[in-house]
């Protein structure tokens, strides 16, 4: 049984829907989850020794949604090396834009720089091919749960 913080970055709610379905799957596997919709570095701190799942879309030109920018900047400026952190990333995007899934990939790159251990591969979900993102994320989360 693991304690998993789910950190969401969304504009229109797709990433939140994915996060809520992920939480239900993980709880069903016996894990404890907590979803953060406007996550802060303070929310993140307890999970440095646990597990974090970042679920974020991309806006602008490969940018993170505003709701998750304070977390990203806070981790970058204040937290530094976090080798005990285990994490996963679900990146929502649209391949008709340049910088496909840039927000989630940027988050993954930051955590890699900080020595965190990624569990599994980053999942990228293309809205132009999959209007229902949870159809892509749910099987990924089921597999991810087996790696924890
Ligand atoms: C204004 C705008 C800019 C976007 N920019 C990008 C982008 O640079 N790269 C990308 O992969 N997707 C981009 N997208 C696509 C969104 O990330 C995608 O539609 C996602 O499913 C939205 O999820 P959300 O409702 O959680 O925000 C953009 C969408 C909008 C509306």
Report pLDDT for 117: 97
Strands 51-56 and 86-93: parallel
Find the 14 Cα to ligand 1 centroid distance in Å: 10
Q: Report if residue 145 sits inside a domain.
A: no
Q: Report if residue 64 sits inside a domain.
A: yes
**Full-model pTM:** 0.98
Binding-site residues, ligand 1, Cβ < 6 A: 10-15, 57-62, 65, 92-94, 97, 99-102, 127
Q: Which residue lies with its CA nearest to atom 16 of ligand 1? A: 93
Least Cα distance to 40 among 69, 19, 10 occurs for 69
User: From the CB of residue 18, how many other CB atoms can be counted at a distance below 10 Å?
Assistant: 29
pLDDT (tens place) for every residue of the chain, 148 residues total: 899 999 999 999 999 999 999 999 999 999 999 999 999 999 999 998 899 999 999 999 999 999 999 999 999 999 889 999 999 999 999 999 999 999 999 999 999 999 999 999 999 999 999 999 999 999 999 999 999 9
The count of structural domains within the chain is 1
Q: Report if residue 101 sits inside a domain.
A: yes
d(CA 47, CA 1): 14
d(CA 61, CA 47): 29
Q: Report if residue 65 sits inside a domain.
A: yes
Report pLDDT for 89: 98
Q: Report if residue 24 sits inside a domain.
A: no
Q: Which residue lies with its CA nearest to atom 3 of ligand 1? A: 59
Nearest ligand 1 atom, CA 62: 8
Question: For the domain that residue 109 is a member of, what is the CATH number?
Answer: 3.40.50.360
Report pLDDT for 15: 98
Range of the domain at 65: 3-11+32-42+51-134
């Amino acid at each position: 049984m693991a304690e998993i913080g789910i950190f969401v970055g969304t504009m229109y709610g797709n990433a939140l829907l994915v996060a809520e379905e992920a939480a239900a799957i993980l709880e069903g596997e016996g894990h404890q989850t907590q979803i953060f919709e406007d996550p802060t570095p303070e929310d993140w701190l307890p999970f440095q020794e646990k597990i974090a799942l970042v679920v974020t879309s991309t806006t602008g030109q490969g940018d993170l949604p505003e709701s998750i920018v304070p977390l990203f900047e806070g981790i970058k400026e204040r937290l530094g090396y976090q080798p005990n952190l285990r994490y996963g990333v679900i990146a929502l995007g649209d391949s008709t834009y340049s910088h496909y899934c840039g927000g989630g990939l940027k988050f993954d790159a930051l955590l890699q720089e900080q020595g965190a251990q990624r569990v599994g591969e980053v999942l990228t979900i293309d809205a132009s091919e999959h209007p229902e993102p949870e159809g892509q994320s749910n099987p990924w989360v089921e597999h991810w749960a087996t790696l924890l």
